[in-house]
Each structure stands twice: as C-alpha cells, then as structure tokens.
Structure 1
Amino acid sequence: MTQATSALPRVLIVGLGLIGASFAKALRLSRSAQVFGMDAQPGVAERALELGIIDARVDSIETVPEFDVLLLAVPVLAMGSVLRSLQPYLRADTVISDVGSVKGRVVDAAREVFGDDLPAGFVPGHPIAGAERSGVDAAKADLFDRHLLILTPLPSSDPAAVALLTRLWQAVGAEVVSMSVARHDEVLAATSHLPHLLAFSLVDTLARESDNREIFRYAAGGFRDFTRIAASDPTMWHDVFLANRDATLGVLRRFQSDLENLAGAIERGEGKTLLDVFGRAKSARDYFTQILQSRQRHSDDTRRNLIVAPAPAGLQGTLAVPGDRSISHRAVILAALAEGDSHIRGFGENDDNRTTLEALRKLGVVIDEADDGEIRVQGRGLTGLQAPDSPLYLGQSATSMRLLAGVLSAQPFASELIGDASLNQRPMARLQVPLAELGAHLELTASGTAPILIQPGQQWQPLDYDLPMASAQVKSAILLAALCAGVPVRLTEPAPSRDHTERLLAELGCRLESRGNALVFAPASQLPPLNLDVPGDFSLAAVHLAAATLVPGSDLTLTSVGVNPSRLGFLDILKDMGGSVVMSNIRDQGGEPVADLRVRCAPLKGGSYGTHLSGRTIDEFPLLFVLAALADGESCFAGLGELRFKESDRLTRMLEGLRLLGADIEVTDEDVRVRGRVGQPLDGGIVDCAGDPRVALAFMVAAQVTRRPVIIRNAGRVLGAYPGFSAAVGQLGYAVTLED
C-alpha cells in the first residue's frame, strides 16, 4: 500500500445495494477513501470487486479489516443486528453512519447495542437519492451528484465525525445539510413516505377494478408520473412504514382530513374552496421547482472557472457599480413591514438579494419589479406577514437567514429557514441567544446551525445585551425582532459594525441613540412607506479600487458609491498604505452618504491594523491580503476569526491561493501576517476559491500583476454576486474570460 493510499480514510460499507454500491463507486473514483465492501448476499461483494466498485471485499465477520468509517447500507430493521456483529471491531474513534430513511429507528437500534451512552462517532445520515433499478450492477458514481445528504447529529456526536462524513459525502457530489432526528422523520414522512403510500394504494385500488385493463390502457402521463414510485421494492417500503409508523400516521391523518374537505367541496359545488387549495398547491409546487433550479444553477455556476491574464494596460474608465447588497436586503424587508407602497430604485440584483425577495413573496408580500429596475413593495405591517406553506429556502445567503430570523421570531406563526450546504454550516447560535433573551423561540441543530425552526414568541421583554462580536447581521436581527415585537433594546458592540439598519430605521421614524459603544433603540408602532435610491455597493467598488491601485497607468472613477463610514475600513487602510483615492460629489441619499471615487495607481507600504477595524472591513480583507503581498514591507491584520465562517473559510482559502501564487503570508489563529514583495510580481497558476465570490474577486485582482495567467477554479458564483460582472470588467480593461 502506498503512502498516499494509507493516508486516506478506510471506509467499510455493509450492504452493496444501489445506495451502498453507488457510494463506494463514487468514493473510489474520487480517490477520497479506501473502500471495503461487505454484503450478506453471496457473490455480491465479489461482483462489486469485479466491477471496480470497491478496493477489497470482506467475506465474513471474521475477516473484517481495520477501518475508520462504518457505513450501514442495510434495511432499517436490520441495523441493530449488523451493528451488534461489528461491535467488537469498533474503536473509540470509529465514525458510524448509515443511509436509512428512518432515523429514529436507527437511533433506537444503536441504543439496543450500545445502551444510552452512544459512541461519539455515531452520526446517522440519509441520502435523498435513488433510481428505479437496484442492486450492485445498477451502481452509479453520479447518483448523489447535486442531491441532498441529510446528517442528523446527536448531542453526543463528535464534530470531527460530522466533519469527516461531510467531506466524504461532498466528495461524491452531495449537498450536505443537517437536522434533528425527529424533524428528519417528520419531513421524510411527508415528502417521501406518504407519496409512496398513496402511489401503492392508488395502483392497488385501480388494479382491483373489474375493468382495470381499460383504466390502465387510457391512463395518461400524469398517472404514470404519479404512480412510478409504486414500482419500488415492496419489502423495503414495508420496513420503512413500520419503522416510521408514528410520523407517517401523523401526516397521513392530516392528508385524510384535507382529502375529506376536498370531497365535501366537490359534493357541495364549492368552487372557491377548490381554487384556494389548487392555488396554494401550485404556489408551493412552483417554489419547490425554484429551489431545485436554484440548486442546479448554483452547482453549475460554482464549477465554472475564471481565466485572468495580467492587465494589458492601465485600467481606465468610469463605472457605476450595482446597488449595495447590504442595504438592498434591509430596504426590502423594512418595506415589507411598512404600511403602504414602498419604492426602491437601484436594488441589488445579486443572487442573495433575489433570495430575500422570493422569501418575502412566500410570506405574502406583493412585490412588483418594473422594467426600469424600480421595485414596488406592498407593505403588510409589522406583524402582517402570512405563514409560509413550506420552509423558506435561502440558498447561501446568511444575511437573508439572520435578518428574516429576527423578523419571523416576532410573527404570530411558526416558520422554518433552510439553506444550502455552505449556509447550513454557518454559526447561528450567536443569533439564538440574544433573541431568546428578547422572548423569541428558535431551535437549531445540535451544532448550532441551520435549519432554524421558529415558534411564535410568548413573553417579550426589553433587552440589554452585549454582543460578543461586531456583527451587523446579528445586530440587525435583534433590531428587527424588537421592531416587530414592539419592545426597546440596548445593544453594546465590542467594535463598530455596519449601521445600514439603524440609518433606515431612523429614516422611517424610529428613535435610535448612540451612547459610546451602546445603541439604544425605541421602535415605532408602525412604519411609513420607503422611497429609496440604493447607493452603489462599496464592496464591489473596492475590487476595482484595489486592482487600479496595483496596475500601472490606471485611472478609474466609480460613481454613486455608498461611503457609509461603517463600511470604509478598507478605504482607511488603503490610504494608510499609500493608495490614491479621491472622494468627490459627496451627498446624502436616503440617509446614506454617497460619493464618486477616483483611484489611480500608487506604490504601497505595509502597516499594522488592529481588531477595531474588523467590523468595518470584514468583506474586503481578502483584497487587502493581495495588496499587502505587493506592498513594501510587512503588514499585520488582527482579529479576523470571523473570516472562517463566511461562504468559505476565507483565511484558509486566501492563505493557500496566495502562497501558490508566490506570496509570503502566514495565518496564526485569527491574525494574518504578509511580507510584501514590492517590485516582484506574483506568479500565475491555478487557485481554488471554493465557490466563494469574494475570494474569487481577490484572486482576480492579484492576477492583474502576475507573470502569467491565473485560473480561478469554482468561480462561477461571481456572476450571481456581481450583476453585470462580465460587462464591467470588459469596460474597464481587465482580461477575464469564463469557461465551463
């Protein structure tokens, strides 16, 4: 065995049916693990080895090799006996998981084997994937590609075990999410188990008709599509329904009641009842389609590469950057909570802002988008949102999730917020704690992440809270919850963070007062309509400020950019390093300062920058690392731990990418040290931004002054984060192409 192979995790897969064999095949092809296969059916493991699905077969319990991960791909009712037989081969650090569709029964089986003290490596899982064919010969390496894999960690589960399983499933193309065991079984009972039960029942009912051949002969595509799943394995589904009896019966009883209501409406000729049900169903189905299309688009976009050549000449021209993302989120949310019609111009057309729009539509807000880009929002009042008919899918937008969590915590209905794999790994406990003190009720996963289940608050009370970190999102969520609940709050921040929410609330008549590091907020009883022109996004402008600073001969003007002081940490640092940026035509726009920025190439020197700047600079630090790598002398940036919890671990991504390009950069805990190489351009090469747009844009800036082109892998989400990106870079003189 080679050293490279021995470094891989050793995975024992018990059960080489479609799911187990497909996971084995994909793992082996991706070179992510050494795979052993075992199956109770004679000849199956041998066949898997023959097909190249596994590295080695295990013929009996007595010949089990040492392994790091155990994956049980056997029927749910067989989990207990398989676990018991393998118990002597489990180490204290062995990771144990499964692919069963009923997690409660799997946990019960584990307790029968291990008792109440479950192993720390035990993390139940369930891939939402399948195919009509079954067996080892039907194994597909792409079966899990772009499909969900649900992990249901227990309070006893080791985060390292969760992380390892996440890496393995992501290696085979799955999008990993997490939820509680009980919630999983409820969700699967509604979305998988009940549809199978109905399909089996309908086909059985029609098959017992005396003229069933005529019925089936004239059945159209709808019958075929709905009943396709009735061709599934009866034995497997027998086990599933018995194992998940309580959750399935609960949703079945609700469905029976709704079906009786429909039957009564048809009998009485109540057309409005039918239209209401059908309309709600169509809206829910359309939203489901939107979620699938969004996942497909994000998956496709992420895999696209940016090829960036050094700038052929100085960057020149005048550009208006898209509307500010942070302000757009807040403006449309406050417009939805206002009384009357609000008008928002310059709304950010990026993916995250679109996510907030669609979520508000799901909450009953009517939003019209004019051809000229203006958005008109019909407000519903502070507590007038309507209960969504399904969980709100928020993609990778942490701003959408945190701000809407604040709003929804004070609404008179329950709701659930979910996201993609990256969002479901971001910390949400920082939100849960202050909202709970305010009176809200939020439920998170065992690891403190989404999905977020929100129940109506019971007893609201004033809040005096010290924020443990400078976070505009957490601060805004608290303010929005207090606004909707009608209670005052006093918040103290360790350092300044963006104040867009405070400015908009003040514009709408709320009382806010700053007392040192403390903010005192007294909510208004209702909000008037909003009439707003959104300034240009400073974070997007910062990309061009950084690039033009580095490229000789550059002279750019960026118009109507938001220059809120709580966002200008990057500009302050750039000027301190020697950058040449002139601000002109300063004016007020909806409570926000706006200006035109002219930037020209300038030599840079290193400097030291403390934690007090982190809240005002958080999104622009990747750009500053690039600038520091080409400055004269050493630069130090302190207190950047928050960068590990963005769309990616930005500290790690920038460290790896810039080192590959030849930069001298070190990361120690939360601090970054960069030794500049003034007069020496960076090298070219292939870097990976892991789908993070801000990291991709920072590498694009670095590529302006490299010796050879830079290929930025998985950078397609730049197109969703920066509307009009291709036209903008072409207009200013960048040499950037996009490839699949």
Structure 2
Amino acid sequence: MTISPAKPRVLIVGLGMIGASFAKALCLSQVATVIGLDAQVGVAEKARSMGIVDEAATFPTLTTPFDVVILAVPVLAMGPVLTQLKPWLKADTVISDVGSVKGAVVAAAREVLGDLPSGFVPGHPIAGAERSGLAAAKSDLFDHHLLILTPLPSSSPEAVQVLTRLWQSVGADVVTMSVARHDEVLAATSHLPHLLAFSLVDTLARESENREIFRYAAGGFRDFTRIAASDPTMWHDVFLANRDATLSILRRFQADLDVLAEAIENQEGATLKSVFGRAKSARDYFTEILSSRQRHSDDTRKNLIAAPVRAGLKGEVTVPGDRSISHRAIILAALAEGPSELRGFGNGHDNRTTLEALRKLGVCIDVDDSGCVRVAGVGRQGLKPADSPLYMGNSATSMRLMAGVLSAQPFSSELIGDASLSQRPMDRIQVPLQAMAARIELAPRKTAPIVIHPAEALKPLDYSLPMASAQVKTALLLAGLCSGVSMRLQEAGPSRNHTELMLAELGCPVQFDQGVITLAPARQWAGFERDIPGDFSLAAVHIAAASLVPGSELNVLQVGVNPTRLGLLDVMARMGARVQLSNYCDLGGEPVADLQVNYAPLVATDGTADVAGLVIDEYPLLFVLATQAKGASRFSGVRELRYKETDRLKTMVEGLTTLGADIELKGDAVIIRGQNARPLDGGIVDCGGDHRVALAFVVAAQTALRPVIIRNSGRVLGAYPDFAEHALALGYSVTVED
C-alpha cells in the first residue's frame, strides 16, 4: 500500500468522549486534517464550531476524501457503520477503531469487507473518563497512556506506521499484541472490574430502601465503584462482544470468592492472611508497573535538584541490600526444596520484579514488615506456567536470569519489559542457550519480548563468553542447574562472581578459577537462610561524594566488598582517594566490611579496558571524579555503557559538558581533562530515566558553583528508595520535585 501523506486527512466516525478527545488532540498537534462525522444530527458541525475538528461531514454528504478512518463507535455498531462507509473506502485507506473488544471488531469487518484490506489495523486506547459526549472531550486524555494496536497477518507495516505516528502525536505510548491476547487481557483488567462494580452497586442499592446505605459509604467504596457510572449501553455491548474471555475470568474469580467464603466460614485466618498478603504485594507492584510502563511516568518525571555543599558530608549510613545478590538469592530459594529466609533483601524495583515473576510462576513468597523474605521453594522443576506474560519492567537482570531458568522448564513462557528494556540486546543469552538446544525467540531486532518454548532436553555447554557479563554467565548457570547438565564457561574478562559463591555455599558442584567456570550435573539443594549485605553500587555514591567535598567524613556500614565489585576503589586509590575498610565479616560466602571515607584531593588516572567489567556500573561516578582531578584521565573499553538502561556514554558526556566539564568521547574511550578542583558549573541535565546517571549528577552537584537540576530522575527512588532520607541525614542538599 502507499503510505499516507505527511499530513493525512483523518475521518473520525463517532464524536463521543473518546472520538472527540482524539479529534481535539489531533487538531492541536497539527499532524493531520481532522474530519468529524457522527450519527447524531448536528454533532459534527458543533464539533467544528468548537474547534474539535477541522471539517464536519455526514453520511449522506460524505464526498470529502480521507486517508485514515478511525471508528469511535460502540463495538456492536462497527458492522453497520462499516457498511455505510464501504462505498468511500479505497484500497489504501488505513482503517482502525477504539473498541475494547478486538475479536468482535475483526469479525464485523470481515463480514462487511470480505478479505480484510492491508490497511485494516484494529486499535484500542487504554484511557477513558466517567463523563461522555462531545462536551467531555479532553485533549490530554491519551497523554502517557497506552494505545494497543493489534495488527493482523494481512495488516501492512505502512498502516501500522501511520497509526503509530498519529497516536504518538497525541501523547500515547503505542504497543502491539495479538487480537486474542488483547481480549484476554482486557477481560481481566477492564471488563471484569466494571462487571463487579455494576453488580456491587446494584446489590447494595436493592438491599436498602431509598438507598440510605450509601450515606455511610467512605472513600474506598466511592473509588471502588466509580466505574459503575460508565455508559450502561456501551458495557452491555462489551460484555456480549467479549463473552468467552469475560466468562473465563469471571468463573476463575467466582472460584476464588468461594475459597474466601469458605475460609471466613471456617475461621481459617492463615488462608485469609495469605490471600490478602499476596494481593497487597501484587497491588503495590501493579502501581510500579503503571509508572514504569508510561514513557514519562510520574516517577520518571520527577526532578532531583542538587545544590552545592559548603560543609563536609558527615555521619554514617546503611545502604539497601545488594541488588545483584538479592536477584540470585530469591531465584535459588524459589528453586530450592523447602523453606528459605532472606534477610536484608534489596528493596528496589528490580528485585521486586524478580520476586513478583516468581510469584506468578507459583512460588509462595511472604515479606514481613522488616523486609525479611520467606520463600517456599518448589524445586528445580516445580515452577508452574504463568497465566500471562511475565513483566520485567526495566530490569535486564530479571529478564536474563529468568530466561535461563525458564529455558529448562517444561512449559512455554513469555518475558516482556518496558520501552527501555525492550531496546536492550537479548541475543547474548539467546545464542548460548540455543547451543544448549533451548527454544528461544526474540523480536526482529534481537530484543524482548522473549518467547521460550519447552525443549525436549537441554545439552551440556562449552562456551566462551564474548563479553564480561555476570548476567549472561548466571543465566547459563541457572539453565544448567535446572536441567541437570554440565557446563564449562570461559569468561572474556572478570565479572561479578556472586552466583558462583552462592552455588558453592549451597553445595552445588561448581568450580571457578582463572576465568573458567565449570558446573557438573547438579542435584536438588535444600532451602537456606541468608543475610544480604549492603549494595556496593549504592554505597559508591556516598564514597564518591565524600571524596569530592572538603571536610567530609563518612562511614558506610555493612557493605558487600566482594573483590569483583571493588574495581571502583582500586581506580580511586590510584587517584588518591582515602577509603579504609574495617570490621570484616562473612555473610554466606560474601565478604562484608564498613567503609570509612574522607575527603582527599584527586589526581588523574587511566582506567584500562581489562577492568571494565569490574567498574561497569560505577563509570558515571568515575567520570564525575575525573572532572575534579588534576590532569587528564582516560577510561577505555567503555563501549558496554551504550547498552545499559540508557546510552550512558552519550548521556554522561552530554550532561557533564553542559556542566562545564572538559570531556571527550574518542572511539571506545572517554578522555576527561580534570579541572584540578575547579568547580563545575550548575545547570539543567537529563539523565534519561537512568538512576545511576542521575546519582552521578547528584555527586557532581555537591561541589558545583550552582544547583544542578536533574530531569527525569524519579527512578532513583525506585532503585534506592531511601536515598532522599539518607542524603538529608548525611548533609547533601538534594530535593525531589514533581
């Protein structure tokens, strides 16, 4: 088909709240000429007079040409409306809709049009409001909301491209899924809640004369039943159109209600507490998903305002549990046989992502008020199929490690992530896992979604890793553990060895020396207890800041000091930093110590490529330190920074340049000519939603001339929830701004 012109003419049929809102937003964006058409006489002309559409049309006089038609009418009206439109549709007309049931829309279109044209691409915006009609039109209704396109095998990429551009122009985040999957998802997340709200309000209204009972309802009842104010006719159509999927989820819900009723009747408090605990955790996680799925979510759109500190940073702090160890510990606890207890589990979003994925796979996990995590292990082959794709948010560690586990399971799985994670390379795990005979499919660009099908049996693996990556190494080891096959891995360079240490502690047959890791066929391991040390990567922020601010004296307590994590301290020691370790102890095979940091003037250094894997997460901090050192520093082998949550190389170079640093990117090396303690300037920088970049800019601000405003830095609070509190206690000048 021919791609629609740069400014297509878009016909919107149906000017209710959704159709009128799309029309209004599209008019304001000026990327299209908008034609309005409504079955009710005079509505389209009124919309034109209100500036909601550029032109008005009616069916009897529809002579104006159009390139795109959006059907914003009830699902059961799609067939009759398409029948009226059919004489005006061309071979290259792009056709879409806003209905919440895609199967019914496709069936109606096929009945009217026969073979579906290549321009037909069903769509559905996940947005709405209680009010209806033309007067309820909101130009920002779709801003930061999902728009789901459900392309068919017959749909052309050009049509998808046209619709993606139109919806993105009104602020929507466009995703795609199959028609069947869409209808299953919407039955669970939209249709069932509306059905329950209608039913509950109707039940209570009939139970009390004059509806007096509603006088005593609190805000929770109002919030829960708000959607019962929606259009009854529209929802009548939805439930009939999506009958099968709605009945399926409704009957599952009825069965769960029967379990609760029986538990209340028999006073089974443990059952109630278990259900409520799982529900609370899932609801908390759902809130996180909403934030991370929105392109500019409320969390990400927070700004950090970091001001210079004139006095030193002083005090002591205990940072959250190590994120890398927490991921591995909870996965191995889930695959153990019997109960495990994890104390000090990381409280960041990424660790919660892995925890919730394991819950969806049938593992019972409880978290108490102190953060202690108790896991009822199901064994290496005891996981259950998830009833929907596993959402990995922004966590590449969760996605890659869980892919290793799931490649050895006897069921299919799908792993999806947010927009950022969906751009990160996943072929680095696909290639070696396929060499083990795992069946793994990726998107065309070798990124997520990851679809895993059960393999007959995985094979032993002898593999040389092309890059230093603890994530890839661990994914392969987990696949080997779950499948019971042997493995020999040759590392490209040193990387974190938390997995090897933990497996050895559990009695698994693993050996590691001189960059070679071998795993013999493993037997089942028992549940275990573990204390998780503080995260060195989070402690590194305070270490760097105290090293820069004159007069600083900080103590960071109970930090994991695994040698594969201390590359930053080695580089900083060459720069003249004053960091002392004391109070050593051992936690489950991991060395732990307190770190005392004092201010010291710094000198330039060379960061060689062979240690890149040991400082990969701390490079942004090293770049900041180098701006204040005497002389020129060079950090080579940093190409991997381009494939993190953001392109950290680009973001750091641009941000530090804005702040007045003399920094240059040359090939795969960064050259920074230090200012010899001459402060950076202030200004506005954008971390792109990357918490490590944001924290590096916070450190840069501590000795700057003016405050630094760090945009889109809300993920700091997801990765390090206590950061604002800790920063205030230590003497930073940092505030969070929505």
TM-score by length of 2: 0.78
- Residue in 2 that maps onto 1:22: 21
Give, in angstroms, the shift of residue 587 of structure 1.
Answer: 4.3
Measure, in 1, the Cα distance between the counterparts of 2:719 and 2:431.
30
SS at match of 1:736: strand
Letter in 2 for 1:321: V
Letter in 1 for 2:472: V
Measure, in 2, the Cα distance between the counterparts of 1:678 and 1:173.
45
Give, in angstroms, the shift of residue 534 of structure 1.
Answer: 1.6
Query: Residues 115-173 of structure 1: CA distance to partner in whole angstroms, max 9, x if unpaired?
Result: 99968xx9865322223444443222342355433355789999999899879767756
Kindly indicate whether the alpha-carbon contact (under 8 Å) linking 2:429 and 2:475 is maintained by their aligned counterparts in 1: yes
**Structure 1 residues 319 and 184: CA distance shift in structure 2, 3 A:** same
Unaligned runs of 5+ in 2: 1-5, 215-220
1:467 aligns with 2:461: no
Query: Residues 437-487 of structure 1: CA distance to partner in whole angstroms, max 9, x if unpaired?
Result: 434444555554445454444322222334343332232222212212212
**Structure 1 residues 380 and 343: CA distance shift in structure 2, 3 A:** same
Give, in angstroms, the shift of residue 491 of structure 1.
Answer: 2.7
The residue correspondences of 1:542-561 to structure 2 (distance < 5 A) are 542-561=540-559
Give, in angstroms, the shift of residue 364 of structure 1.
Answer: 4.0
- Residue in 2 that maps onto 1:590: 588
1:365 aligns with 2:363: yes
SS at match of 2:399: helix
SS at match of 1:695: helix
1:383 aligns with 2:381: yes
Measure, in 1, the Cα distance between the counterparts of 2:633 and 2:385.
50
- Residue in 1 that maps onto 2:33: 36
Choose which of 342, 348, 351 in structure 2 pairs with 1:350: 348
Measure, in 1, the Cα distance between the counterparts of 2:44 and 2:631.
61
Give, in angstroms, the shift of residue 525 of structure 1.
Answer: 1.0
Kindly indicate whether the alpha-carbon contact (under 8 Å) linking 2:546 and 2:554 is maintained by their aligned counterparts in 1: yes
- Residue in 2 that maps onto 1:231: 231
Measure, in 1, the Cα distance between the counterparts of 2:271 and 2:591.
48
Q: Which stretch has the larger CA shift, 164-173 or 329-338? A: 164-173
Measure, in 1, the Cα distance between the counterparts of 2:366 and 2:273.
19
Q: Which stretch has the larger CA shift, 386-395 or 494-503? A: 386-395
Measure, in 2, the Cα distance between the counterparts of 1:154 and 1:619.
41
Give, in angstroms, the shift of residue 562 of structure 1.
Answer: 1.7
The residue correspondences of 1:637-652 to structure 2 (distance < 5 A) are 637-652=635-650
Query: Residues 325-357 of structure 1: CA distance to partner in whole angstroms, max 9, x if unpaired?
Result: 111111122122223333333222223223333
Measure, in 1, the Cα distance between the counterparts of 2:162 and 2:696.
29
Kindly indicate whether the alpha-carbon contact (under 8 Å) linking 1:79 and 1:106 is maintained by their aligned counterparts in 2: no
- Residue in 2 that maps onto 1:289: 283
Give, in angstroms, the shift of residue 632 of structure 1.
Answer: 3.7
- Residue in 1 that maps onto 2:487: 489
Kindly indicate whether the alpha-carbon contact (under 8 Å) linking 1:132 and 1:232 is maintained by their aligned counterparts in 2: no
1:340 aligns with 2:338: yes
- Residue in 2 that maps onto 1:143: 141
Kindly indicate whether the alpha-carbon contact (under 8 Å) linking 2:684 and 2:709 is maintained by their aligned counterparts in 1: yes
SS at match of 1:300: coil
Give, in angstroms, the shift of residue 97 of structure 1.
Answer: 7.2
Kindly indicate whether the alpha-carbon contact (under 8 Å) linking 1:153 and 1:446 is maintained by their aligned counterparts in 2: no
SS at match of 1:653: helix
SS at match of 1:618: coil
Measure, in 2, the Cα distance between the counterparts of 1:165 and 1:611.
45
Q: Which stretch has the larger CA shift, 720-729 or 153-162? A: 153-162
RMSD between aligned residues? 5.0
1:315 aligns with 2:309: no
Letter in 2 for 1:598: Q
Choose which of 174, 181, 187 in structure 2 pairs with 1:183: 181
Measure, in 2, the Cα distance between the counterparts of 1:596 and 1:161.
59
**Structure 1 residues 45 and 262: CA distance shift in structure 2, 3 A:** closer
Measure, in 1, the Cα distance between the counterparts of 2:161 and 2:682.
32
Query: Residues 167-217 of structure 1: CA distance to partner in whole angstroms, max 9, x if unpaired?
Result: 9767756555443455334434555567889999x99xx99xxxx999998
Query: Residues 234-268 of structure 1: CA distance to partner in whole angstroms, max 9, x if unpaired?
Result: 5x9869977x7xxx6477578679989999xx9x9
SS at match of 1:302: coil
Give, in angstroms, the shift of residue 648 of structure 1.
Answer: 3.3
Kindly indicate whether the alpha-carbon contact (under 8 Å) linking 1:546 and 1:623 is maintained by their aligned counterparts in 2: yes
- Residue in 1 that maps onto 2:218: none
Letter in 2 for 1:327: I
- Residue in 2 that maps onto 1:727: 725
Kindly indicate whether the alpha-carbon contact (under 8 Å) linking 1:178 and 1:424 is maintained by their aligned counterparts in 2: no
Measure, in 2, the Cα distance between the counterparts of 1:650 and 1:71.
40
Kindly indicate whether the alpha-carbon contact (under 8 Å) linking 2:457 and 2:483 is maintained by their aligned counterparts in 1: no
Give, in angstroms, the shift of residue 709 of structure 1.
Answer: 0.9
Query: Residues 24-75 of structure 1: CA distance to partner in whole angstroms, max 9, x if unpaired?
Result: 545676xx66443123348666655544546x5587998779x9x9977677
Letter in 2 for 1:495: G
- Residue in 2 that maps onto 1:680: 678
- Residue in 2 that maps onto 1:458: 456
Give, in angstroms, the shift of residue 406 of structure 1.
Answer: 2.5
Kindly indicate whether the alpha-carbon contact (under 8 Å) linking 1:13 and 1:72 is maintained by their aligned counterparts in 2: no
**Structure 1 residues 163 and 554: CA distance shift in structure 2, 3 A:** farther
Q: Which stretch has the larger CA shift, 323-332 or 417-426? A: 417-426
Give, in angstroms, the shift of residue 498 of structure 1.
Answer: 1.8
SS at match of 2:37: coil
1:404 aligns with 2:402: yes
SS at match of 1:665: strand
- Residue in 1 that maps onto 2:537: 539
Kindly indicate whether the alpha-carbon contact (under 8 Å) linking 1:177 and 1:420 is maintained by their aligned counterparts in 2: no
Q: Which stretch has the larger CA shift, 708-717 or 637-646? A: 637-646
Kindly indicate whether the alpha-carbon contact (under 8 Å) linking 2:31 and 2:169 is maintained by their aligned counterparts in 1: no
Kindly indicate whether the alpha-carbon contact (under 8 Å) linking 2:126 and 2:147 is maintained by their aligned counterparts in 1: yes
Kindly indicate whether the alpha-carbon contact (under 8 Å) linking 1:630 and 1:677 is maintained by their aligned counterparts in 2: yes
Letter in 1 for 2:125: P
Give, in angstroms, the shift of residue 288 of structure 1.
Answer: 6.0
- Residue in 1 that maps onto 2:522: 524
Measure, in 1, the Cα distance between the counterparts of 2:505 and 2:158.
47
Kindly indicate whether the alpha-carbon contact (under 8 Å) linking 1:11 and 1:71 is maintained by their aligned counterparts in 2: no
**Structure 1 residues 418 and 217: CA distance shift in structure 2, 3 A:** farther
**Structure 1 residues 431 and 167: CA distance shift in structure 2, 3 A:** farther
SS at match of 2:616: helix
Q: State the number of aligned residues.
A: 708
Q: Which stretch has the larger CA shift, 699-708 or 399-408? A: 399-408
Give, in angstroms, the shift of residue 697 of structure 1.
Answer: 0.6
Kindly indicate whether the alpha-carbon contact (under 8 Å) linking 2:340 and 2:529 is maintained by their aligned counterparts in 1: yes
Query: Residues 687-716 of structure 1: CA distance to partner in whole angstroms, max 9, x if unpaired?
Result: 232332212111101101211111222323
Unaligned runs of 5+ in 1: 1-8
**Structure 1 residues 48 and 88: CA distance shift in structure 2, 3 A:** farther
SS at match of 2:663: strand
The residue correspondences of 1:117-266 to structure 2 (distance < 5 A) are 125-145=123-143, 147-151=145-149, 174=172, 177-188=175-186, 191-192=189-190, 225=225, 228=228, 231-233=231-233, 249=244, 252=247
Letter in 2 for 1:545: I
- Residue in 2 that maps onto 1:573: 571
Choose which of 493, 498, 501 in structure 1 pairs with 2:499: 501
TM-score by length of 1: 0.78
**Structure 1 residues 552 and 51: CA distance shift in structure 2, 3 A:** farther
Give, in angstroms, the shift of residue 734 of structure 1.
Answer: 1.1
Kindly indicate whether the alpha-carbon contact (under 8 Å) linking 1:146 and 1:295 is maintained by their aligned counterparts in 2: no
Query: Residues 538-563 of structure 1: CA distance to partner in whole angstroms, max 9, x if unpaired?
Result: 11111122212222232333233222
